[in-house]
Structure formats: structure tokens, C-alpha cells
Structure 1
Amino acid sequence: MPETPVADLSYEAARDELVETVHRLEAGGTTLEESLALWERGEALAQRCQEWLDGARKRLDDVVADREQG
């Protein structure tokens, strides 16, 4: 089954896959090529999670700013 593009993942899906990816890397037993692919996917997943968190922070900041102005 093909992997879902990282950009299409919700925060929860990206976080869950990142946790699984870290577990797989820590467990070992993969080839160098597989480990590199896991690492690259993990980096992309971590970035996706950060994007979601940054977006949530901005939304919260916007609400607070609107309340302070109104």
C-alpha cells in the first residue's frame, strides 16, 4: 500500500506515524537504505507536525488579539 503524502496527513496521523517510524528505527534490523528512507520520512513527518502546531498557535494568537481589540 503506498504511503499517504505527508502534506495530506492530519496532525494526529502524522504524529502517530512519526512515533511508529521512531520505534522502527530504534528497533534496528533494517538495511541502510531502509533506515535512510525511514529517517527522511520521519523528518518530513516532524515538519508536518510542526506546521500544524504553528498553525494552531497562530489561530489562538489571532483570537486573543481580536478579543483584546474588541
Structure 2
Amino acid sequence: MSEKPVSEMSFEDAMRELETVVGQLERGDVALEDSIKLYERGAKLKKRCEAKLKEAEEKVAAITLDGEGQPNGLNAVEGL
């Protein structure tokens, strides 16, 4: 498990660690106390992934095409 704060993780890092956490929990060979910590970490990672996906969806939704197929609303997506 990473020591990096979840709030600083990229989507890819959070998703990769979430997959690791889920794998450990599914195996069932983790002590109860460790399972609880893993579950808590997994919940935070899931929330981070959902937030990053929502952020990306909003950026994509801000891009519209004009009649000539050119992007409009570039000011709304400067963060891309």
C-alpha cells in the first residue's frame, strides 16, 4: 500500500492501488485489523477515482464543436 496521500494521487495511481487493495481483500488472507485499514483506504481511493472521472467528464462536456467541426469553449478547458 502506498504512503502517498490519496488527495495527491493521479487517477491512474489511485486506480492501480485500488485494484491492489481489492485483490488483497478478495484473497481473504489479511488480518481483520488490516482488512479494516485496507477497506478504509479503498473507500478513499474509490472516491478519488470518481472525483477525477467527474472532473474529466466536465472538461470533455465543455468542449463543443462549431458548424465546421472546430472546438468551441476552449476557455472552459484550459486545464487539459
Q: TM-score range by the shorter chain?
A: 0.7 to 0.9
Q: Which has the higher contact order (CA 8 A, sep 6+)?
A: 1
TM-aligned CA distance change 1:24 to 1:49, over 3 Å: same
Aligned-residue Cα RMSD (Å) equals 2.1
Q: How many residues align?
A: 68
Structure 1 counterpart SS, 2:46:
helix
Determine which structure has more spread, i.e. the larger CA radius of gyration.
2
* TM-score normalized with structure 1 length: 0.87
* TM-score normalized with structure 2 length: 0.76
Q: Match for residue 67 of structure 1? A: 72
Higher-helix-fraction structure: 1
Q: Which amino acid aligns with 1:12?
A: E
Structure 2: runs of 5+ lacking an equivalent: 66-70, 74-80
Structure 1: runs of 5+ lacking an equivalent: none
Structure 1 counterpart SS, 2:63:
helix
